[in-house]
Chains A and B, each alone.
Chain A
Amino acid sequence: MTKHHPSNDFLMEHAAGSLPVAQAACVSAHLSYCERCRRTDGQLQTVGGAMLERLDPVSVSESLLDTVLARLEDPAPLAYAGQTEVSALPGLLQRLTNKDFSQLVWKRVTRALSISYLSTGDTSHEFALLRIAAGGRIPEHTHGGNEMTLVLEGGFSDGRDSYHPGDFIYRSSEDTHAPVALDGEDCICLTVLDAPLKFTGWQHRWLNPFLKLRAS
């Protein structure tokens, strides 16, 4: 049971298909964990269906119908990936990571924190997996922009609350936080950033020039 959800604005933009692909992927990964948000998503798509029915029709030529009828027996694409499995690792992440986390290239940032960058094609958002060692702390930081986080394995706390698999957290540039992974197992999170992190503590500030946004 997830406790932390995307805002209604995000759910709506997701249902309308207007979120940038990296953010859409993160919201969508949350939906695969959260029945409540899936239900809302379904209703928000109904709003889209109802609007579609109310558009002023634009006439379509008879020849287009003939073309489509002639192509009906064309072989369909092998598989439609739309039927993503609910729970487990969200299907879209399986695609981006070749099934599991073991083959990923992890880049070590601090003793407790490693990052693996994934490519979504969205060049304005960094899409990455963070691995925080059990009990490990990410140095206190702010963001030049906004950060979406989705917990995939383990969990972390940030002084306000604790977060578990499926939980979705959104932080804006004003927020400063220092997440600590829960004891017992490594915490793996998906993060989507639109500007690099900035460490605020004096011990880690020297790292800032190296933290470029790796969006691809």
Chain B
Amino acid sequence: MVAASCMLTGRISQVPRCGMVENKNDGEADSGRSSGKWAVPTGRRTDEWSECLVLIGKSNDRAAFTRFFRHFAPLIKAFALAGSSLSAAHADELVQEVMLKVWQKASGFNPEKAAASTWIYTIARNCRTDMFRRLQKFDTPLAADDLNIELEGEEPFTVLHTRRGSDRIKDLMGQLPPDQAQILAKVYMEGKSHSEAAAELDLPLGTVKSRVRLAIQKLQVQMDRQ
């Protein structure tokens, strides 16, 4: 049997909106922002969803859950269909699984540590991996959740630092050049390995890797230079 990552190859259906940003460099990026069409999400919006999660976690608030569902379920469905061979029925099943986990795990959500979108992305990513493995009869004792090491017990300063980093990443995402945004979409939304992305886009592996690196640098993800 092939490695799990190879199973994710399939058709491409979704390209994130930021892939259509036409700015080629940082200097032009601001004009894109001010046009309003590709407006960068504000911090406020994120807070709304974090508040929903806190309400769900604290008091099993069904109204908050319904609001959260209406916003995120269509995004999870888009994620399910992105670049994979999941049928519409399986995509709906994934939405169900993810949303039930949201309900069950919301009490563990800490708005200080992660944005709601990051938190649900991780759940969706893990559910999708497990679903692929199930569908491919890939038998493993490790669920994707087992491989998820959460940040915990960090210093308040570190938490604040991490949070600022996250806010910055969201703001900068809209300014990525299309070729870099496209690769990130392959890797993150379609679950492709770098070499699979290279094969699909008919690019040398080195080009894919350097675009990924440039994108990560632009987003100011703190990584070590290598």
Interface residues of A (CB under 8 A from B): 5, 7-9, 11-14, 16-21, 24-25, 28, 31-32, 35, 38-61, 64-65, 67-69, 71-72, 74, 76-77, 80-84, 86, 91-92, 95-96, 119-125
Contact = CB atoms under 8 A, between A and B. Distances in A.
A61 B221 CA distance: 37
Contact of A81 (B117, B146, B187): B146
A48 B184 CA distance: 9
Nearest to B116: A49
Contacts of B174: 54
7 contacts: A35-B154, A39-B158, A47-B184, A50-B170, A52-B189, A82-B148, A92-B147
Q: Is the interface of A mostly helix, strand, loop or mixed?
A: helix
A155 B169 CA distance: 37
B125 A17 contact: yes
B202 interface: no
B140 A121 contact: yes
Across the A-B interface, the 9 shortest Cβ-Cβ residue pairs? A121-B140, A49-B118, A57-B74, A20-B3, A49-B117, A55-B78, A82-B145, A49-B121, A31-B149
Interface of B: 1-5, 8, 14, 16-18, 41, 60, 62, 65-66, 69-70, 73-79, 81-82, 91-92, 95-96, 99-100, 103-105, 108, 113-115, 117-122, 124-126, 128-129, 133, 138-154, 158, 162, 165-166, 169-170, 173-174, 184-185, 187-189, 191-194, 196, 209, 212-213, 216, 219, 221-224, 226
Contacts, number: 248
Q: Is the interface of B mostly helix, strand, loop or mixed?
A: helix
B100 A74 contact: yes
A68 B117 contact: no
B162 A49 contact: no
